[in-house]
């Protein structure tokens, strides 16, 4: 209920028309921790599943999106998030293969054991994506926001199912 309300508010803030877009499956899989703490070994195999809906681009370069996912976090606990964002898309060809590079931000609500007493908390992070029209790699940078945490890069494989 809270996540649905959040998504509706997010859509209303940007005033984005409800045009057909693309649905993708997200395969969560990798975290690269940029610092280490003595005696602590983080889980870098953040397996999980999610979905991402990319709305039709606005002015050909701005791609609004919604996403929700669950994955095993750095401490091997399940974490869940839902949110949306806006990406600026740059298109180019690599040989004969059409490619894109997206850069923007995601606003989300997350629930994670061991953080904020396992209650939903809001966040905003940078978001990047590089790939073809069918397969891409999503990436975000998570800074150190708590003394017990370390900064990391988080990666997802995005497989587009088609237009919806």
Contact between 105 and 125 under an 8 Å Cβ cutoff? The reply is yes
Residues in the chain: 164
The predicted pLDDT at position 53 comes to 98
Q: What is the 3-state secondary structure (H, E, C) of 44-87?
A: CCCCEEEEEEECCCECCCEEEEEEEEEEECCCCCEEEEEEEEEE
Alpha helices in the chain (DSSP H): 2-14
For residue 164, being part of any structural domain is answered with no
Would you say residue 61 lies in a domain?
yes
pLDDT tens for each residue of the chain, 164 residues long: 444 444 444 444 444 445 579 999 999 989 999 987 788 888 999 999 999 999 999 988 999 999 999 999 988 999 999 999 999 999 999 999 999 999 999 999 999 887 777 889 999 999 999 999 999 999 999 998 877 788 999 999 999 998 87
Residues 30, 139: Cα–Cα separation, whole Å: 10
pLDDT of residue 162: 85
pLDDT value of position 144: 87
Question: pLDDT value at position 19?
Answer: 57
Distance CA 127, CA 93 (A): 21
Q: Indicate which CATH number applies to the domain containing 40.
A: 2.40.160.20
Dihedral sign of CA atoms 51, 55, 60, 62 in order: negative
Whole domain around residue 32: which residue ranges? 2-14+23-135+142-159
pLDDT score, position 8:
47
Write phi, then psi, for 69 (nearest 5 degrees): -160, 160
This prediction has a pTM of 0.84
**Structural domain count, the chain:** 1
């Amino acid at each position: 209920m809270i996540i649905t309300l959040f998504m509706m508010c997010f859509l209303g803030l940007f005033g984005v028309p409800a045009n057909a877009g693309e649905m993708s499956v997200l395969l969560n899989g990798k975290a690269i921790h940029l610092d280490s703490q003595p005696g602590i070994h983080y889980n870098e195999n953040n397996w999980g599943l999610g979905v991402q809906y990319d709305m039709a681009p606005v002015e050909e370069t701005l791609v609004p999106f919604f996403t929700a996912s669950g994955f095993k976090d750095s401490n091997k606990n399940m974490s869940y998030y839902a949110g949306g964002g806006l990406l600026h898309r740059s298109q180019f060809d690599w040989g004969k293969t059409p490619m894109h590079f997206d850069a923007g931000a995601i606003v989300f609500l997350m629930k994670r054991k061991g953080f904020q007493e396992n209650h939903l908390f809001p966040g905003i992070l940078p978001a990047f994506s590089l790939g073809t029209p069918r397969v891409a790699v999503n990436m975000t940078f998570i800074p150190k926001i708590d003394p017990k945490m370390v900064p990391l890069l988080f990666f997802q494989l995005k497989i587009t199912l088609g237009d919806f």
